[in-house]
Amino acid sequence: MKTLSFLRQTVLFWIALAVCQAVSADEGMWLFNDLPRDYLKTKYGFEPTDEWTRHVMLSCVRFNSGGSASFISGTGLVLTNHHVGADTLHKISDARHNYLRDGFHAKTPAEEIKAPDLELNQLVAIEDVTERVGAAVTAEMSAAEAFAARRAVMSKIEKQSLDATGLRSDVVTLYGGARYHLYRYKKYTDVRLVWAPEAAVAAFGGDADNFEYPRYCLDVCLFRVYTDGKPVKIDHFLKLSPKNVVEGELIFMPGNPGSTQRIFTVAALKFQRDRYVPFVLNLLHRQEILYQQYALDGDEQRRQVRRDMLGVQNARKAYSGILHGLQDPACLAHKQAEEAALRAKVQSDPHLKPYADAWKTIEETQARRVKLLGKTASFAAKPYDIAQTLVFMAAEDQKPNSKRLREYRESARASLEQQLFSPAPIHADLERAKLADSLGFFVEQRGGDDPLARKVLDGKSPQARAAELIAGTKLIQIAERRRLAQGGRAAVDASTDPMIELAKLMEPEARRIREIEDELDELERQAYAQITSAVYAIKGTSTYPDATFTLRLAFGQVKGYVENGRIIPPWTTVGGAFEHEKKHGAKEPWKLPRRWNARRGKLNLETPFNFVSTADIIGGNSGSPVINRDAELVGVVFDGNIQSLTGRHYYSDQLARAVSVTSNVIVEALKKIYDAERLVEELAR
Amino acid sequence: MKTLSFLRQTVLFWIALAVCQAVSADEGMWLFNDLPRDYLKTKYGFEPTDEWTRHVMLSCVRFNSGGSASFISGTGLVLTNHHVGADTLHKISDARHNYLRDGFHAKTPAEEIKAPDLELNQLVAIEDVTERVGAAVTAEMSAAEAFAARRAVMSKIEKQSLDATGLRSDVVTLYGGARYHLYRYKKYTDVRLVWAPEAAVAAFGGDADNFEYPRYCLDVCLFRVYTDGKPVKIDHFLKLSPKNVVEGELIFMPGNPGSTQRIFTVAALKFQRDRYVPFVLNLLHRQEILYQQYALDGDEQRRQVRRDMLGVQNARKAYSGILHGLQDPACLAHKQAEEAALRAKVQSDPHLKPYADAWKTIEETQARRVKLLGKTASFAAKPYDIAQTLVFMAAEDQKPNSKRLREYRESARASLEQQLFSPAPIHADLERAKLADSLGFFVEQRGGDDPLARKVLDGKSPQARAAELIAGTKLIQIAERRRLAQGGRAAVDASTDPMIELAKLMEPEARRIREIEDELDELERQAYAQITSAVYAIKGTSTYPDATFTLRLAFGQVKGYVENGRIIPPWTTVGGAFEHEKKHGAKEPWKLPRRWNARRGKLNLETPFNFVSTADIIGGNSGSPVINRDAELVGVVFDGNIQSLTGRHYYSDQLARAVSVTSNVIVEALKKIYDAERLVEELAR
């Protein structure tokens, strides 16, 4: 029992660093090279072998567009969420084909559609490079110098690794800056859509049911990875479990959680509470109304803006939940008490005293971040994004690799170019509406008298200026982007494309803001590294780092909960989906696809549809496989319930739950609704 | 021609005070006691007689809920917009009757439904009291003293008038503070709904078509005024013109424009552009999303929130248009040049030099207004509004009438109590959602560490606190409101109603903010009075003052326009409405009521539906009658086109147009769609 008690202490301490924490044990987004082996063994009697761990790691894939996934066949079939595939579903659609809304099914391999700009990453190795990175930075350096030195050594490590292995190589900053690991990925860029259901069942209940539970969503779709024009042959993939999940069952969710802020100090949380999150929500509300207004213009406009709309609705609901948690005084009070205790300990220990200023540093960076809020030097429209990339690339390419901004380093070039030259359609009307709004926002933030704002508008209203820019730019054509990228500095300097000229006008300000941000990041990195070291010194053990959109292992139990006295069962069924539809009068967004109602009689209505578990996940985990002890696939996570939204800052297993689609309902639907025998057979192999 | 040239100069000068002005002549929201007689005579050969003016004035009524209207029969029939009547249509509806959506028709007088809290005002006299008000203020007074003195004398004038005449008596501040007029109104509080069409045709095209043209909206409804339980007998009402409007025809729009800011200095406009309007838009976006989310909960929730939603959508579109105008650098540049010329003239003239600081004063008040933005001390929920009124009323009633806040003065008491004791339904769920959001907003604006914010939340999240407040308050019951109002200070002090306690907690801060606002208003009033005087001195004549939600006369011509090379005709037809429906696939919001399609064959499709004119109107004018030279009703104004939205700051007749419903389509619909023979006969009398 000693181990457990010791672990409990550690966990409790880390819980305390998070806010408003109930005692809970299934917390954590663990590094694959540092799993909580003792805890899993003690609580669940489960010992992940190296073979198990490696198999799971190699079975996982990351969608660089923002999501997680897994291989589920030896011939490269990839399972993820419909809402992760949505970006591609949208990009391959046009005025006549609305795959995002209507779904897609390649009945033969030849019908599988190539995604225009998808990059999938399969993590193959992790190497600790903390010492190499640390050695580049000395105590005498200013924050700016330290940042430059760190950036240089990271670029060097990545370039060496790329040259040596041919693998995508990213140095990842962990524990807020206390550790640096090199992640090597196998990269797949020929990714084809195989099957997707209708949005009406993938996102059954729409925005209203998003982040709610009970749920009934078939939020999945299938891609296939190709190499050299053929389906990839792979050794590691997840087999579907034939069994239904059971209550209390231990499950794992390997995936790529995007971002958590559990290490944040009280000062940093207050900045989030009072400034950053309200600011983001204002922006999201504004964008949501903008997209709604655009959609009013007609069905095609509605289709064009659908992907942006879904993204902004999801973010709005997520940030609202985050703010609810931050504004709850009880939550912050807990965190405050814990931080005060830790700081007192650090103050009173002569060895730790050097770390005592770390909290003050973060308080100071927050005050500087307040001034930076809204001070963007960019515009939210795709053609501007392209122009800015071209202008920066031309300038960065003049520098040695180690001195470039991270996104322009050599080891990231292939990924950058895939995006830059993407053949995904650009809708001029939509981009004009977005650009006009973004220009207006820029002027609002700086005031209409700001010299740069005046230059940006060039004497016109934001609407007139946006119309002029979109009408005048040639960057919608891929050939022109290639010409400017290949022509480098000279071509960009010579270009009179109005969007390029706008990006050139903005470049100095964009760099000025970037420098401040980088400096603040560096100051915080150093401070959080000190806080982490202080915690190590006091508690003598490690835990999981905040999420970094890299592969982690979460775990937990399939488990219902009690909400306002109402028992919420651990899973829903196919029959429940039809009842849910009926309860809402079968009106949108609660209208199941016609096909579902037509084939209702063929379905096993008892099939579990969605289920909840205590695993600790966050945005980015979407599409993560849910596996059992035998590494069999029992589901795919696609959401958290509303109570889980505070997870950015603290974990709780009282009410917060991850929501997943069961493997069984996927097979049931493929067989009986979508006539996808080809895929069902492939999965059974 | 001398008169015209002289007038032109004057008009041009005032145009210059407005921004971005094309030469235009039909500008102005004229005082009924100071009409542009010479101009009308010269340009249109029309001389409004005193009899004409008095008849029109007495035929007009103001909806105190925010809108204009007119008497159209000798037995008290009142015509206004559907969207002006919407507040009442909403309040008399319940879960089983959705009059706002479905319309209403009282087939007999007995079926006419009494509005719960409507007050209609009929202006009967205007008296210039500038000298009396001015005499109360001396040059030595501080802004706060001057404000108090002015408030006292205004309350005294109003009270004396009320006692002497029994009429509602309001002293109105005109020309930003240069003139004060006493307006006496006959007040009607027994107002009953007679007829309203379906929202589907009243607001055909919904939010998408709002502020657009061509339009096809039957945005009208009929009320009837009662006194002593019987329809009022009145001598002055507008007869419907049997003729269609013709292009170029001179028309008048007597009504109550709410608020314009054409006198504003450049500094004041910049505050609007950079701070105030963006702030309001953020708030509107936030509310719109809040209401949308509430409506997702079901049909009844959708009905409950419909009225709030329509209001916020309309405001969002209006403010967007205002901001577009303000952000257009060309507009402000025009205003800047004119202001500079005026200031140079004032500086160089020894008699005017005392006024030279006025612009600086306004610049300084704007800087102080920036700090006040978002610093509310109130919450946007009806039960809180009631609590705040009760708490303030209890305190204000301790003071002599002349020292009270304006809204608590004796002459306004009856109107205040009508609102306070309104039996209009309060939906607890909706108010909880609004209160939670408003509490959250309060915490965001002040930061979660603000001592008052902490007291307001009382250790809970905004959501939990709102739930507790709504569950605990008894103010939803009218009897409890009456008990507290009658019990006065002692009853309010003794009350432990959580909403009353919250209002008591907020009272000091609310008064503190109110004092600052009143001081800023006073400083600006004095400054604008000086600017106005300087203009008088230089130009030697008067013009119309900014809108103050009091009766004004606008005029203009029925006139189409050219937009992006496309000729927009001056009116649409009934047949056009069906074509517009078809063009949008008869999908909401472009789905005409079933009844319209069923009776299409009976309709004269050539009947003009909506028409545009150059008259200078703004929000508040909604429901204003449109009359011809003979004071016959040819229509009802209900909107402006998108180009008119900049009208808050400047008038133009190039593209900006007022949009009206024709009298003829009203009669056509009453006869052939709504079987309202009783009303058609009454109108013909």
- From first CA to last CA, the distance across chain B in angstroms is 43
Q: Is the peptide bond before B451 cis (omega within 30 degrees of 0)?
A: no
Query: For the whole prediction, is pTM greater than 0.90?
Result: yes
Burial class (CB in 10 A: 0-12, 13-18, 19+), A400: exposed
Q: What is the CATH number of the domain that holds A620?
A: 2.40.10.120
The answer on A217 and A332 residing in a single domain is no
* A contacts of B454 (beta carbons < 8 Å): 329
Q: How many Å is the Cα radius of gyration of chain A? A: 25
Q: What pLDDT, on a 0 to 100 scale, did the predictor assign at position A570? A: 98
- Hey, is the C-beta of B278 within 8 angstroms of any chain A C-beta? yes
State pLDDT tens for residues A229-238.
999 999 999 9
Q: What pLDDT, on a 0 to 100 scale, did the predictor assign at position A537? A: 87
Give phi and psi for B262, each to the nearest 5: -75, -20
- Hey, is the C-beta of A236 within 8 angstroms of any chain B C-beta? no
Phi-psi region of B575 (alpha: psi -120 to 50; beta: other; left: phi over 0): alpha
Residue in B270, B324, B443 closest to A448 by CB? B270
Residue where a domain stops, chosen among B323, B353, B383? B353
A460–B328 CB contact, under 8 Å: yes
* B contacts of A296 (beta carbons < 8 Å): 207-208
User: How large is the angle between the packed helices A428-446 and B299-327, nearest 10 degrees?
Assistant: 70
B:287-346 residues touching chain A, CB 8 A cutoff? 288-289, 296-297, 316, 323-330, 332
B274–A328 CB contact, under 8 Å: no
Q: Please give the helix or strand (H or E) that residue B374 lies within, else none.
A: none
Average pLDDT over residues A337-350: 95
Sequence-separated (6 or more) residues with CB below 8 Å from residue B520: B365, B368, B369, B372
Range of the domain at A349: 264-353
Q: Answer whether residue A521 is part of any domain.
A: no
Q: Are B152 and B410 in contact (CB under 8 A)?
A: no
The answer on A290 and A259 residing in a single domain is no
Residue in A208, A327, A459 closest to B443 by CB? A327
A289–B286 CB contact, under 8 Å: no
Nearest CA in chain B to A454: B329
How far off is chain B from A329, nearest CA to CA, in Å? 5
Q: What pLDDT, on a 0 to 100 scale, did the predictor assign at position A481? A: 98
β-bridge partners, B562: B567
Q: Are A330 and A481 in contact (CB under 8 A)?
A: no
Whole-number Å distance between alpha carbons of A476 and A384: 10
The answer on A339 and A269 residing in a single domain is yes
Taking chain B (685 residues) in consecutive chunks of 10 residues, what is each chunk's mean pLDDT? Answer: 35 36 71 94 96 98 96 98 98 97 97 98 98 94 94 96 97 94 98 98 97 97 98 97 95 97 96 98 98 96 97 97 94 92 95 94 98 94 98 98 95 96 98 98 96 97 97 98 98 98 98 96 94 86 89 98 95 98 96 98 98 97 98 98 93 94 98 98 93
Does the pLDDT value for residue A378 go beyond 50? Answer: yes
The answer on B243 and B203 residing in a single domain is yes
The answer on A240 and A344 residing in a single domain is no
The answer on A223 and A284 residing in a single domain is no
Q: Answer whether residue A125 is part of any domain.
A: no
Q: Give this complex's ipTM.
A: 0.93
* A contacts of B321 (beta carbons < 8 Å): none
Q: What pLDDT, on a 0 to 100 scale, did the predictor assign at position A547? A: 97
Residue where a domain stops, chosen among A353, A378, A400? A353
Give the best residue of A266, A274, A583, A588 to mutate against chain B (max B CB count within 10 A). Answer: A274
Q: Answer whether residue B590 is part of any domain.
A: yes
Q: Answer whether residue B624 is part of any domain.
A: yes
- Hey, is the C-beta of A454 within 8 angstroms of any chain B C-beta? yes
* B contacts of A325 (beta carbons < 8 Å): 461
Q: Is the peptide bond before A350 cis (omega within 30 degrees of 0)?
A: no
Q: What pLDDT, on a 0 to 100 scale, did the predictor assign at position A492? A: 98
Rounded to 5°, the CA angle A307-A308-A314 comes to 90
How far off is chain A from B461, nearest CA to CA, in Å? 4
The answer on B669 and B606 residing in a single domain is yes
**For B412, which DSSP code?**
G
Q: State how many domains chain A has.
A: 2
Residue in A289, A327, A461 closest to B448 by CB? A327
* A contacts of B463 (beta carbons < 8 Å): 324
The answer on A204 and A326 residing in a single domain is no
**Three-state DSSP state, A439:** helix
* A contacts of B330 (beta carbons < 8 Å): 459-460
For A257-272, give the DSSP string: -----TT--HHHHHHI
The answer on A583 and A659 residing in a single domain is yes
The answer on A562 and A665 residing in a single domain is yes
Report in angstroms the alpha-carbon separations of B93 from A354, A627, B115, B300, B427: 68, 53, 11, 11, 12
Q: Are A185 and A168 in contact (CB under 8 A)?
A: yes
Q: Answer whether residue A579 is part of any domain.
A: yes
* A contacts of B209 (beta carbons < 8 Å): none
Q: What pLDDT, on a 0 to 100 scale, did the predictor assign at position A9? A: 36
The answer on A208 and A329 residing in a single domain is no
- Hey, is the C-beta of B583 within 8 angstroms of any chain A C-beta? no
- Hey, is the C-beta of A461 within 8 angstroms of any chain B C-beta? yes
A:411-440 residues touching chain B, CB 8 A cutoff? 440
β-bridge partners, B608: B573
The sign of the CA dihedral B495, B496, B497, B498 is positive
The answer on A209 and A77 residing in a single domain is yes
β-bridge partners, B509: none
Q: Answer whether residue A318 is part of any domain.
A: yes
Q: Which amino acid is at A519?
A: E
Q: Answer whether residue B614 is part of any domain.
A: yes
A285–B288 CB contact, under 8 Å: yes
Burial class (CB in 10 A: 0-12, 13-18, 19+), B285: buried
At B33, list the tokens.
Answer: 């006691």
Residue where a domain stops, chosen among B301, B328, B353? B353
Does the pLDDT value for residue A16 go beyond 70? Answer: no
Q: Answer whether residue A198 is part of any domain.
A: yes
